[in-house]
Amino acid sequence: MMSIEKAAFAFQTDSDPISCRAFGSGHINNTFCVITEKGTKYVLQRINRYVFKNPIRMMNNTCAITDYLRERIEDPRMTLHFIPSKDGKFYHKTPDGEFWRMSYLVGGFTLDAPESDEDFYQSALAFGRFQELLADFPADSLYEVIPNFHNTQDRYMQLRESVELDCVGRVAETAEDIAFLMEREKTGCILQKMLDAGILPLRVTHNDTKLNNVLLDSETRKSLCVLDLDTVMAGSSLYDYGDAIRYGAATAAEDEQDVSKMHLDLHLFEVFTRGYLEAAPALTNMEVALLPLGALVMTLELAVRFLKDYLDGDLYFSKIAYPEHNLVRARSQMALVADMEKNWTQMNLIVAKVANELRR
């Protein structure tokens, strides 16, 4: 029996599995759809050990979150449901050290990009609702599955080290890019400093707030739940909001070579802001006021990460289509940062307007 089939039989399904096929389009974990004799569908995943060094801690986070949500939702489809293995754990470890997990396949669909304003609004509702439902969850009890993931102070320190080492000789050609990012280091580190000082509340953060991580109802097209909880950790609500804006309200792809095409769509910015604030009324006044900064910092952070990786020889973002791919990615994010700075007053006015309308 193949290792995949063995893994399928390791969990407490309602009857024996009769089929197992590749499923989804994720890039991190290997995912399969398992169907049992009774026709029940499950999602089986092999956890990527390179990305997640401690799968047990990651699953502890995930199950703690889903158990908490399950007590606070009306529709069971509003959270993932993991299936215990036959030894009672929420994962199965094979003799060769691979980790597997299984959950019910919830009916619905996902989108890689919004097909309407409503789609983007629904994603905002989903991530805002995720934040609201977990507002009282003890975020500091979660394991840090990827250390310093959004610690921009650490990200900048790593960039400086890469500049000093210049291990593949790319610093000279990127001098202007390096200067652009270094000039904004103080701004980029504001949120981390506020978290460290206790000025911003520590919250549960999803850390991958793309539209394709929102499950939509097949009939109503309304958002059901947030998927892919692997990177759930403690952080700031501004991380999730900011990353969603960075990705979803941009007018060009992350690797657009013509940076003149990269702008912030202020209409989509308002659409997402409205949905997020509508679904997350527990956010503090300071968090609301700093939402534009969340978008700017998250965009700046990714630019730092892309440029550092280009200087290192493309080790982390290793899936490149051409030698300058990560430099192009960095420059597209820098162009988005510049456009946010250009529209800074308008971004703040939009957030204030939406917040005031929702308070009425």
Q: Per-residue pLDDT tens for 264-291?
A: 999 999 999 999 999 999 999 999 999 9
Q: Would the pLDDT of 49 be above 90?
A: no
Above 50 in pLDDT, residue 1?
no
Question: Bridge-partner residues for 223, per DSSP?
Answer: 216
Give 344's contacts (C-beta < 8 A, 6+ positions apart).
292
Q: Could you please report the per-residue DSSP string of 303-348?
A: HHHHHHHHHHTSSSS---SSTTHHHHHHHHHHHHHHHHHHTHHHHH
Distance of CA 269 to the CA centre of its chain: 18
Q: Is the pLDDT of residue 251 over 90?
A: yes
Spatial distance between the Cα atoms of 333 and 40, rounded to a whole number of angstroms: 43
* Tokens (6 digits) for 306: 């892309």
- pLDDT for 89-109, tens place per residue? 999 999 888 999 999 998 899
Q: What fold is seen in the domain 117-359? A: Aminoglycoside 3'-phosphotransferase; Chain: A, domain 2 (3.90.1200)
Specify whether the CB–CB gap between 290 and 297 falls below 8 A. Answer: no
Q: Domains of the chain: which residue ranges?
A: 3-104, 117-359
Confidence (pLDDT) at 25: 58
Q: How far is CA 346 from CA 72, 269, 272, 276, 353, in A?
A: 36, 10, 15, 18, 10
- The confidence band for 316, taking pLDDT boundaries of 50, 70 and 90, is confident
pTM, whole model, 2 decimals?
0.91
Q: What mean pLDDT is reported for the chain?
A: 94
The CATH topology of domain 3-104 is: Phosphorylase Kinase; domain 1 (3.30.200)
C-alpha 360: how far from its chain's center?
31
pLDDT at position 26: 60
**Does the structure show a pLDDT above 60 at 27?**
no
pLDDT-derived band at 360, boundaries 50, 70, 90: confident
Which residue is associated with the tokens 């799968």? 55
Q: In CATH terms, are 3-104 and 117-359 the same topology?
A: no
Least confident of 103-112, 123-132, 192-201, 327-336: 103-112
